[in-house]
Amino acid sequence: DSGVTQTPKHLITATGQRVTLRCSPRSGDLSVYWYQQSLDQGLQFLIQYYNGEERAKGNILERFSAQQFPDLHSELNLSSLELGDSALYFCASSPEGGALAETQYFGPGTRLLVL
C-alpha cells in the first residue's frame, strides 16, 4: 500500500459526459501527478500540482483539467468524453516535486470506460 488513494476504482460512462477522478496523496506529500495508461499510448504524464499550484503540464487534452485543493487532495476532470479516453488514470505523489531523484508513489488507479 503506497498511501495514495484514488476514487472511484472503476467508472463507466457514455461519450459526451463529464467525470471527476479524485486522488489523496500520501500524508505530508505536497506534489501530485496525474498519468494516463492506455494500450495505444502507454503511460503518459498529464499534469503536476505542487501545494495547490500547477507546476508542469504534459500531454493533457484541453478537455481535461485538474486542481489541487488546500487539503492537498487533487481532482482530475475529464469532459466531453470520447471512446479514446478509456484508460487507467493514475495519481502519484511525492514530498516536494522538484528534486530530480524524488520517488513518486502511485495510487491503485481509476479505470475509466467510455461507452
Partner 1 sequence: AQSVTQLGSHVSVSEGALVLLRCNYSSSVPPYLFWYVQYPNQGLQLLLKYTTGATLVKGINGFEAEFKKSETSFHLTKPSAHMSDAAEYFCAVIQAGTALIFGKGTTLSVSS
Binding stretches for partner 1 (CB under 8 A)? 2, 4, 33, 35, 42-45, 48, 55-56, 58, 90, 92, 97-109
Q: Are residues 105 and 96 in contact, defined by beta-carbon separation less than 8 angstroms?
A: no
Residue closer to partner 1 (CB basis): 20 or 38: 38
> What percent of the residues of the chain are helix, what percent strand, and what percent coil, each to the nearest 5?
5, 50, 45
Residue closer to partner 1 (CB basis): 12 or 99: 99
Considering the complex, what minimum distance in angstroms separates the CB of residue 72 from partner 1? Answer: 17
Residue closer to partner 1 (CB basis): 18 or 99: 99
Considering the complex, what minimum distance in angstroms separates the CB of residue 5 from partner 1? Answer: 10
Bridge-based pairing state of the strands 10-13 and 110-114: parallel
What's the number of CA atoms in the CB half-sphere (13 Å) around residue 60? 21
Residue closer to partner 1 (CB basis): 64 or 105: 105
Considering the complex, what minimum distance in angstroms separates the CB of residue 1 from partner 1? Answer: 10
Q: How far apart are CA 62 and CA 71, in angstroms?
A: 25
